[in-house]
Chain A
Amino acid sequence: MLSISDVHTFYGHIEALHGVDLEIKEGEIVTLIGANGAGKSTLLMTICGDPRAHSGQIVFQGRDITRLPTHEIMRCGIAHSPEGRRIFPRMTILENLQMGAITGNPDRFDQNLERVFGLFPILQERGGQRGGTLSGGEQQMLAIARALMSEPTLLLLDEPSLGLAPLIVRQIFDVIRDINQSSGMTVFLVEQNAFHALRLADRGYVMVNGEISMTGSGKDLLNDPEVQRAYLEGAVG
């Protein structure tokens, strides 16, 4: 469904991705783990065309999206819940969700609203509250809900667990799994919380310094001694 081949991305003159190859199949949950600064967020943003890949190719559902402007890429059925959540702080929860529905089918707005309120009831209770006044966990739920409003075929998630209490992390990961199983939505999940991510995912990739260093099923990577040493130290137990 998404195939990334030999993608190089630059910030100014600094190369952040050094030829990334990656493949995601329909209906999968794929995770990308790696240390801080490895280039994980950059890869997700490159898929969205901001920054644009300097060279290489990104094909989504048979269509080359490498050179499309960001807003057109997002209209192909991709939604992104980016690093830092990026909730519109001076918009209400409802308005944030309306923004998420821009690329979706307008006739299904009410249904989708009901669906995300079902997943995150707290958002319904707080509907008129401004995004900037929500707690970190609520903002993360809103960011995911906003991404779901367009009923994407591919959902990109950048560190949804960052800075959240374990209970909320569990809740969010459960939601991701549920949606994947019930609607078949493909998920590409970037995480530093490698333990939870690898347990959830069908397959995983490990990124080091802007390159993919390892790939395998979630289970294999969890049991890999090198992965355990580098990313799971103290996390299991």
Chain B
Amino acid sequence: MEYFLQQLINGLTLGAIYGLIAIGYTMVYGIIGMINFAHGEIYMIGAFISLISIMLLESLAGGSVIVALFVVLIVAMILTSLYGWALERIAYRPLRSSPRLAALISAIGMSIALGNYIQLTQGARNKTLQPIVQGNLELMKRDDGFTVVLSYMQIGIIVTTIVLMAAFSLMIAKTSLGRAQRACEQDRTMASLLGVNVDRTISLTFVMGAALAAVAGFLVVLYYGVIDFYIGFLAGIKAFTAAVLGGIGSIPGAMLGGLLIGLIEAFWSGYFSIEYKDVAAFAILVLVLIFRPTGLLGRPEVEKV
């Protein structure tokens, strides 16, 4: 029971992070019908920008930690958004009317280029950070001494994610920008006939996905305290799996899928073997694609015009 609870907490934390990244995949797919294969690298860049900004602020010292972290978060979101914006302009927009395969290849190219760019500029070795947010709550203690802990960092991750996802869902459902995005998703030509600037709306979609990925990167840096240029690949594939599992194109689906992948990974490593935890995610991707390609909350694919 105690052990189960601990895995649940770990899984929720992990799932929150996958969910944040998965939203970027699902939104971009929704609006242009293509997978953004460089999204994992965008997340990785968000993590690096967070780490570097934290180190810079630490070297300046002084001030409140909360304020400093908040500043780092905002900086990371803005700078990472710029990468997301540039990615769309360079890799997707020029190919919007080309065959999908061309855009797919250009996105994979961007993914490799961004990975190498960070490897070259930041080095291939791990970057580490001293823990900043420390301390935890002891929830339960078993007779043999095993304690269920919920760290402040985990609380921070879960709360941040819930707040962001709620705000984000509200934005999509209620604001004119959210409506314009859904309109572009359903009928781009009609949206432009009603005065929607389709190019700008697509740009903003990439920017939002990148900003959420930056939050994920920021949280991961604080949570694990170690990153390298390669983290985008694995996290990217898992978040992509989450988006497919939830139903690609569906935002609630991405959140649910992220949560499930996080839980599955945590329980798998907790009860079976930690070495094969990544295999679990891939196995799920394969199974979903075979048995329920539309995902849990997705709708049956209608022919894209």
CB distance B179 to A90 under 8 Å?
Answer: no
Q: Which residue of B lies closest to A102 (CB)?
A: B195
Q: Return chain B residues, CB-CB under 8 Å to A91.
A: 179, 182-183, 186
Report if B192 contacts A (CB, 8 A). yes
Report if B191 contacts A (CB, 8 A). yes
Q: Return chain A residues, CB-CB under 8 Å to B182.
A: 88, 90-91
B187 touches which of A69, A71, A86, A146 (Cβ 8 Å): A86
Report if A48 contacts B (CB, 8 A). yes
- A74-B195, A102-B195, A103-B195 are known contacts. Are A95 and B189 too (CB-CB below 8 A)? no
Report if B112 contacts A (CB, 8 A). no
Report if A126 contacts B (CB, 8 A). no
B186 touches which of A89, A100, A103 (Cβ 8 Å): A89
CB distance A74 to B193 under 8 Å?
Answer: yes
Report if A41 contacts B (CB, 8 A). no
CB distance A82 to B190 under 8 Å?
Answer: yes
The 4 closest A-B pairs by CB, nearest first: A103-B195, A86-B190, A70-B192, A74-B195
Which of A69, A70, A150 has the most chain B CB within a 10 Å cutoff?
A70
Q: Return chain A residues, CB-CB under 8 Å to B183.
A: 88, 91, 99
14 A-B pairs (CB sep. < 8 Å):
A48-B193, A50-B189, A70-B193, A71-B196, A74-B192, A80-B193, A82-B189, A86-B187, A86-B193, A88-B182, A88-B183, A90-B182, A98-B176, A102-B180
For the A-B complex with A74-B193, A150-B194 known, give 5 more contacts whose Cβ atoms are closer than 8 Å: A71-B192, A74-B195, A82-B189, A91-B179, A99-B196
Interface residues on B, range: 10 to 19
Inter-chain CA distance A15–B190, complex, in Å, is: 23
- Chain A nearest Cβ from B31, distance in angstroms: 14
Chain A 73-97 interface residues, beta-carbon cutoff 8 Å to B: 74-75, 80, 82, 86, 88-91, 95
- Chain A nearest Cβ from B12, distance in angstroms: 30
Report if B198 contacts A (CB, 8 A). yes
Which of A48, A90, A102 has the most chain B CB within a 10 Å cutoff?
A102
Inter-chain CA distance A74–B183, complex, in Å, is: 16
Q: Which residue of B lies closest to A49 (CB)?
A: B192
For the complex, would chain B's binding face be called helix, strand, loop or mixed by DSSP majority?
A: helix
Inter-chain CA distance A95–B196, complex, in Å, is: 14
CB distance A102 to B194 under 8 Å?
Answer: yes
Q: Return chain B residues, CB-CB under 8 Å to A100.
A: 194
CB distance B186 to A74 under 8 Å?
Answer: no
B179 touches which of A75, A82, A98, A103 (Cβ 8 Å): A98
Which of B180, B182, B190 has the most chain A CB within a 10 Å cutoff?
B190
Contact with B along A147-167 (1 / 0, CB 8 A): 000100000000000000000
Q: Return chain B residues, CB-CB under 8 Å to A69.
A: 192, 197
List residues of chain A with CB under 8 Å of any chain B CB. Answer: 48, 50, 69-71, 74-75, 80, 82, 86, 88-91, 95, 98-100, 102-103, 146, 150
A95 touches which of B179, B190, B192, B195 (Cβ 8 Å): B179
Inter-chain CA distance A118–B56, complex, in Å, is: 62
- Chain B nearest Cβ from A147, distance in angstroms: 9
Contact with A along B54-94 (1 / 0, CB 8 A): 00000000000000000000000000000000000000000
Contact with A along B186-215 (1 / 0, CB 8 A): 110111111111100000000000000000
Q: Which residue of B lies closest to A48 (CB)?
A: B193
CB distance B186 to A90 under 8 Å?
Answer: yes
- Chain B nearest Cβ from A123, distance in angstroms: 17
Inter-chain CA distance A103–B191, complex, in Å, is: 11
Inter-chain CA distance A66–B185, complex, in Å, is: 27
Inter-chain CA distance A146–B176, complex, in Å, is: 15
Inter-chain CA distance A196–B187, complex, in Å, is: 30
- A98-B176, A98-B179 are known contacts. Are A88 and B195 too (CB-CB below 8 A)? no
Chain B 238-282 interface residues, beta-carbon cutoff 8 Å to A: none
Q: Return chain A residues, CB-CB under 8 Å to B193.
A: 48, 50, 70, 74, 80, 82, 86
Inter-chain CA distance A70–B199, complex, in Å, is: 11
CB distance B198 to A102 under 8 Å?
Answer: no
- Chain A nearest Cβ from B169, distance in angstroms: 15
- Chain A nearest Cβ from B61, distance in angstroms: 49
Which of B179, B189, B195, B197 has the most chain A CB within a 10 Å cutoff?
B195
Q: Return chain B residues, CB-CB under 8 Å to A80.
A: 193
Inter-chain CA distance A103–B194, complex, in Å, is: 7
Inter-chain CA distance A50–B207, complex, in Å, is: 26
B198 touches which of A71, A86, A95 (Cβ 8 Å): A71
Q: Which residue of B lies closest to A76 (CB)?
A: B195
Q: Which residue of B lies closest to A75 (CB)?
A: B195
Q: Return chain B residues, CB-CB under 8 Å to A74.
A: 192-195
Q: Return chain A residues, CB-CB under 8 Å to B196.
A: 71, 99, 102
Q: Which residue of B lies closest to A106 (CB)?
A: B176
CB distance B176 to A86 under 8 Å?
Answer: no
- Chain A nearest Cβ from B189, distance in angstroms: 6
- Chain B nearest Cβ from A22, distance in angstroms: 20
